[in-house]
Structure 1
Amino acid sequence: MPPKRVRPISNTALAAAIEAAGWTRTQTARHINAVATENGVPLHYDHSTVGHWLTGTTPRPEGICAGTEAFRRGLRRPDLVPGDLGWPEVAGLAEAADDPWQGDVVARLTALGEDDMLRRRTVLTAGAFSLAGLAAPPASSARVSARRGGAGDAARIRDTARRFGDLDDLYGGGHARHAVAAYLVHDVAPLLQGTAGRARPNLFRAAAELTYLAAYMAMDAGANGLALRYHVQTVRLADEAGDRVLRATSLRSMAVQARELGHDREALVLADAAASALGGRAPGRTVAWVTGMQAEAHAGVANRQDALTLLRRTEAQLERVDSSPEVEWTGNYRRESLAHQTGLALTALGDHVAAAEHYAASTGSRRPVERRTRALVGLRCARAYLRAGDAERAAVAVLSLREYLEGVVSARVRGELRVLRQGWVRCRADAHVAQADVLAAGLLR
């Protein structure tokens, strides 16, 4: 028999939210801690902390912000505010004064890279996925001359970004991310400050490509707050360069991030904004890439017919493309990419058997360099099998990924492994499940 409660629940709003999310107190603390860690403010709450909140104690401001975001995801309620949890609003942490869409873009990028490189504690904001500033024009401001750059510098930055990108594909976003941040701070930002004239747009375009990679790597490493701030600066750098395709590229990736974190309405707005940024004037492969994201985003908000129509449109667009994927840096979209995106859309629509088939097709046709993507998509395939009720097939899928899982440093991959372990807990008597569980446990240790 549980011990008699000494103090009754006084925060009924929080209690109702925990019940609606289906969480225990320990799980509540874990979700909040995870959000805080993403944003550079590690917290160490546990079940007893949540118990204190239920009896009327108010969390620290950073706890309120992380808790609000955790429940937004858990309840699929992006409009949720601290008051819905019985907590006061937090002043000063999400004010417009720290709006990443404002201020000098080079100064913002430098500060962001230094935070990342030095692993500084960054400000935790409640409004991590606010769309209010999407249409804001880039701020114009004078820059102090530093180092003058030219065409050769832009080419060097692009070449460096490609090499870092290959490392990301091979080993995941957790590998070499701080080196990318250091390169941005020490080599790229000074050139942006000191360059004017005809060389400037091309240099800003190259910087946007590298910042986009930094954003993607941060997201894969689980630093989602940092990743979003990188994405914002990518959009602003693209605007400085006058590059609509790069703007669309980053907006699309912001939509991917929003979808993965449970902000489905925001994901749809961002995907549509990416399509709008293209304005129909982009390489065909890039257009298909953005259309595919719109399809997935519509599936996320249960617009089944629109999602399926857009998937068919994406396939038709991809079939008409006559260029090699490597020719187009933005939207390097392939048949295996479409198969993955179709799997994600079908997962959102609840068709797990068909989703597994598409994930499997995507995994099987990946290039050798795509170790991280093969691991991630393969685990999503396993998860689809598990959701369809086939734990043994899920386990076999995981076991087939052993060589790709080992050595990959990716929070998204680790997240899929954790979900799988939780999902097949009642099936561990099966030999394949037991073997796969040992593998997953070792990788997570």
Structure 2
Amino acid sequence: MPATPNDQLRALLAEARLNGAALARAVNQLADENGMSLAYGRAAVSQWLRGSHPRRPVPQLIAEVLSRRLDRTITPDAAGFGNGRIWTGGPLQYWTDDPLKQLAVLAPSASGSHLGLEKLVYSKAALRIPAWAEIAVTAVHDHGGEQKEHVGRAEVAAVAAMADMFAVSDALTGAGPVRPAASGYLATPVVDWLHASAGTRIRPSLYSTAARLTCLCGYLCFDDELHGAAQRYFHVALALAAEAGDPTTYAIGLRVLSMQARRLGHHQEALNLAHAALQTPAPAPPQTQALLHSEAAVAHAATGDRAGAQHHLRTAEVRLECDSRPRIAVGTYHPADHAQQQATAHSLLGERPTAINDLKDSIRRRSAVERRARTIALADLAELQLACGRLDQAIETWHLFMDNCSTVQCGRVRTALRNMRSSLRSHDGYPPARVLLHRTAPTDRPNGGT
């Protein structure tokens, strides 16, 4: 039986003024943003128009391309790719989708695998997030008493302790070994406790602590470059923070969404989210205030606003003077983090020599536990040194990166390794560069959970 032509897709392409080749290029580019590798051409689009249905996540990628082009949400169904599946990875619809059910969907299977997370597509439309003032009076889900189990302070303390442990583990080894365990713990027993009955003082604390753990799970996905999954965890963290009545954790959630958006090139959306995070009403601890201002600084730098970046960097530094104790946990911030954010802002503003000095300061300040941050900072430093024409310094720094990267398992480190090879290929006639390239060969193997 011949396939039915996809008239919905044809109409949307006409409205978006896209031909087949342009859609294929856009899908390939969006796949790259999401850590996937696709090589579609015009012939594939012709097949889609004739009624062929590509495998997931290609319909989601097509829908996202059209959504961005038309500045409205286009679902796979609306693009003619309806298949009746119960969950296609669409962004959380605030206060309608149950956040606890979303956590169950995102959890690893009984075998411990996360099959499907890599097929979740990052949504630009899902960056339109209400500020705290807009959601503070919104009705939310009431899960209290859905199970007979009663929870108390012990469960809240357990979630907080496990969140700290997972954060330290990620700092030491990267997301690869940590992500399945953290998301599995969040799905069971934490979701069960969120369904249980609790006192009026316990329930907000439990939801707030769970929101921070959810935010950490999102960051673990971000660290492994699973951007669609990371975004969904961040959304659920916001929903849990809203149910807890916790504007500080809500602000932290907005901040990580801003960071992710900026890293993916959505600079104006990142700036909007960073400012929304600063507009939450509750007084946050000094380190969290510094964290929020530093992200606003980087977001301003990404848009070319030097004055705005400098203002927020200074404000972050002042806040940090009130409490600069190093601690690894969701919402904390210390001098090594600040030096890293300064480096990012200066690099975005084209001030590479200053960024190099800031990165060196950040690396020097990192504790032995912060191996993942140090490893990524070394890769960033080498790239900046190479961009400034300091090839020998870059090679020396990349050797330090190599000393660490075999013990850090995450997508960002694997990408840094690929970028290093790509950067060095044009210098392979230089013996020190050739030695370094040869050193990288044994470490080109899969690691850590993706």
Normalising by the smaller structure, the TM-score range is: 0.7 to 0.9
1:382, CA displacement in angstroms? 0.9
Structure-to-structure mapping, 1:245-256, within 5 angstroms: 245-256=248-259
Native 8 Å contact 2:171 2:370 kept in 1: yes
Deviations 1:214-252 (CA, angstroms, capped at 9, x unpaired)? 111111111111111111111111122222111111111
1:381, CA displacement in angstroms? 0.8
Letter in 1 for 2:325: S
Native 8 Å contact 1:12 1:54 kept in 2: no
1:134 paired residue among 124, 127, 130: 130
Structure-to-structure mapping, 1:156-171, within 5 angstroms: 156-171=158-173
Letter in 2 for 1:224: H
Report the equivalent of 2:410: 410
Native 8 Å contact 1:108 1:233 kept in 2: yes
Deviations 1:329-350 (CA, angstroms, capped at 9, x unpaired)? 4432111111100111112112
1:16, CA displacement in angstroms? 6.0
Distance 1:397 1:212 in 2: 32
Unaligned segments of structure 1, at least 5 residues: 1-9, 22-27, 73-77
1:88, CA displacement in angstroms? 11
Sequence identity (%): 27
Native 8 Å contact 2:267 2:303 kept in 1: yes
Distance 2:324 2:340 in 1: 21
Report the equivalent of 2:99: 105
Report the equivalent of 1:121: 116
1:370, CA displacement in angstroms? 0.6
1:179 paired residue among 178, 181, 202: 181
Q: Secondary structure at the match of 1:415?
A: helix
Q: Secondary structure at the match of 1:80?
A: helix
Q: Secondary structure at the match of 1:424?
A: helix
Distance 1:190 1:403 in 2: 42
Structure-to-structure mapping, 1:209-248, within 5 angstroms: 209-248=212-251
Residues 401, 18 of structure 1: CA spacing in aligned structure 2 closer, same or farther, 3 A cutoff? same
2:79 paired residue among 67, 87, 90: 90
Letter in 2 for 1:417: L
Distance 1:419 1:347 in 2: 17
Deviations 1:336-385 (CA, angstroms, capped at 9, x unpaired)? 11110011111211222221221121112200001111001111111111
Residues 340, 347 of structure 1: CA spacing in aligned structure 2 closer, same or farther, 3 A cutoff? same
Letter in 1 for 2:123: G
Distance 1:172 1:329 in 2: 14
Residues 343, 158 of structure 1: CA spacing in aligned structure 2 closer, same or farther, 3 A cutoff? same
Residues 171, 394 of structure 1: CA spacing in aligned structure 2 closer, same or farther, 3 A cutoff? same
Report the equivalent of 1:343: 343
Distance 2:294 2:419 in 1: 26
Distance 1:89 1:391 in 2: 51
Distance 1:384 1:104 in 2: 44
Distance 2:282 2:195 in 1: 32
1:17, CA displacement in angstroms? 8.1
Matched, 1:50 2:41: yes
Unaligned segments of structure 2, at least 5 residues: 1-13, 446-450
Aligned length: 409
Q: Secondary structure at the match of 2:198?
A: coil
Distance 1:82 1:121 in 2: 27
- After superposing the two structures, state which structure 1 stretch, 267-276 or 95-104, moved more: 95-104
Distance 1:196 1:205 in 2: 14
